[in-house]
Amino acid sequence: MATKIIATATRVEIAGTALGNAITSCDIQGEAETKETTGFSDTNRTYAVGFKNWTATLNFHHDFTDNALNELLFGWWGTSQTFKARLTGSTIAADNPEFQGTVIFTSVPLFNANVGEVSGGSITLQGTGTLVRAVS
Amino acid sequence: MASPEILTNAGLWIAGYDLQSNLNAIAISAEAQAEDVTTFGDPNRTYAVGVKRALYSGAGLLDAPAEAELQTDWGLSNLALTIAKATTINSVAFVGKVLLGQLQQSRSVNAPWTFSLNGEMCDRGFGRGRVMENQAAVTATGTGTGRQLRAISSGFKAFATLHVLSVSGTTPSLTVILESDDNSGFTSPATRATFTAATLVGGQHTSVDGPITDDYWRFKWTVSGTTPSFAFVCALGFEQPV
């Protein structure tokens, strides 16, 4: 029987800084390109695997406190940074793997003010290179 | 522990106009192109950072004065823009030199007169910093409060905006300068930028080149004329985080 998990303490770290409860969700999306290789005499479409690609999407609350998330995002805009995320802040393990890689900040919502709403946003980070799934 | 906030006092000044009481939504999106640099031998797609840009938008309720201002600004570039977390002094602010590319207004029966605007920074002159001054009725020469913000590294810049929101008096003139120093007492201030003397409502944007090791900053102003009075806002932003 699978263990049901509610992610209440996911740890997201960028450039060595744990972002704490400024982050409200973290999705990592892995894609593998499929290139069609179908030819004459094939009865079915056939494909070959191409490059792998990945992105990480974070939903967050802005924090305008000095040195907090809003200031960090401004500094990370247009840069490559190390990215790490794991289910909980506990030790990395087989049941608490950490995804590790390098991301580029391609689109950063630096400011969002809507009357009556908490300031925040969603940011999609472009992974570059290999996404590692570490278990120790 | 993060401090999420509902921004109930956010502000946006464009050129010589304060749009706060018209707006109910403000956003800035900073973009950077990720250029594919994958080569043979790579197991994954790899990317390098390309050109950066920043876009802004706002939406809200229109009235006649705001409509007149925005119609004037629509299609113009190099407009001074300041967007702030709050209009109070020392609040986090973003400054830029922008174009107002898109302006849409909507009028429907029995519905508020609404609008939205979108634009983009004209060039590199976009930074994050603080609202340094928000003066409602300045009638005499004065000096603002110095604040410790940051130094400017070589190759980087700071950007300052001046929004003159109202002018009255006979031949009134307002000249604002930006000073830096290495101490809070400003015992050895250096002038880093001087705005053109303002005699009318309007906005200005200027830049300061690094390196500058001083990390204290303030604005000073000189007022002349007969019974002059000015309302103005000054903000200072940096390319580097502060």
Contact residues on chain B for A115, CB-CB shorter than 8 A: 8, 24-25
What's the pLDDT score for residue B152?
98
Q: B44: which strand partners?
A: A52
- ipTM score here? 0.90
Q: Are B196 and B94 in contact (CB under 8 A)?
A: no
- The residue in chain B having the minimum alpha-carbon distance to the alpha carbon of residue A68 is B2
Contact residues on chain A for B9, CB-CB shorter than 8 A: none
Residues A86-113: what's their mean pLDDT?
A: 95
CB atoms within 10 A of CB A44: 6
Q: A99: which strand partners?
A: A85, A133
Distance CA B104, CA B107 (A): 10
Tell me how far CA of residue A82 lies from CA of A15, A72, B15, in angstroms. 5, 13, 39
| pLDDT higher than threshold 90 for residue A5 | no
The torsion angles phi and psi of A44, rounded to 5 degrees, stand at -130, 155
**Å between A81 CA and nearest CA of chain B:** 11
| pLDDT higher than threshold 90 for residue A45 | yes
Contact residues on chain B for A79, CB-CB shorter than 8 A: 32, 49
Q: For chain B, percent helix, then strand, then coil, each to nearest 5?
A: 5, 60, 35
Residue A97 CB-density burial (10 A; 0-12 exposed, 13-18 middle, 19+ buried)? middle
Q: Which residues contact B74 (CB under 8 A, 6 or more apart)?
A: B100, B103
- Three-state DSSP state, A103: strand
Distance CA B113, CA A52 (A): 49
What's the pLDDT score for residue A1?
84
Residues B33-45: what's their mean pLDDT?
A: 92
What's the pLDDT score for residue B193?
98
**Confidence band for A3, pLDDT divided at 50, 70 and 90:** confident
CB contact under 8 A, A78 and B241: no
> Where is B193: in which H helix or E strand?
strand B190-194
Helices (H), chain A: 69-76
Q: Are A23 and A121 in contact (CB under 8 A)?
A: no
Enter the tokens of residue B67. Answer: 């409509």
* A129 has a chain B CB within 8 A of its CB: yes
Residues B214-237: what's their mean pLDDT?
A: 98
DSSP summary character for residue A96: B
Residues B61-74: what's their mean pLDDT?
A: 96
* A69 has a chain B CB within 8 A of its CB: yes
What's the pLDDT score for residue B2?
79
Q: Which of A74, A116, A127 sits opposite B128 (nearest CB)?
A: A74
What's the pLDDT score for residue A130?
95
Nearest to A12 by CA among A109, A81, A108, A114: A81
What's the pLDDT score for residue A2?
86
| pLDDT higher than threshold 80 for residue B1 | no
What's the pLDDT score for residue A8?
86
- Mean pLDDT computed over every residue of chain A: 95
- The residue in chain B having the minimum alpha-carbon distance to the alpha carbon of residue A123 is B29
CB contact under 8 A, B44 and A105: no
Number of helices and strands (H, E) in chain B? 1, 14
- The residue in chain A having the minimum alpha-carbon distance to the alpha carbon of residue B86 is A113
Distance CA A133, CA A49 (A): 20
- Its pTM stands at 0.93
Give tens-digit pLDDT for B185-222: 999 999 999 999 999 999 999 999 999 999 999 999 99
Q: Are B15 and B80 in contact (CB under 8 A)?
A: yes
What is the Cα B202 distance to its own chain's centre? 13
Q: Are A81 and A101 in contact (CB under 8 A)?
A: no
**Confidence band for A7, pLDDT divided at 50, 70 and 90:** confident
B68: number of CA atoms within 13 Å, CB side? 4
- Mean pLDDT computed over every residue of chain B: 96
Residue A102 CB-density burial (10 A; 0-12 exposed, 13-18 middle, 19+ buried)? middle
Give tens-digit pLDDT for B73-125: 999 999 999 999 999 999 999 999 999 989 999 999 999 999 999 999 999 99
- The residue in chain A having the minimum alpha-carbon distance to the alpha carbon of residue B240 is A75
**Confidence band for B3, pLDDT divided at 50, 70 and 90:** confident
* A79 has a chain B CB within 8 A of its CB: yes
Enter the tokens of residue B141. Answer: 């020469």
Q: Are B34 and B49 in contact (CB under 8 A)?
A: yes
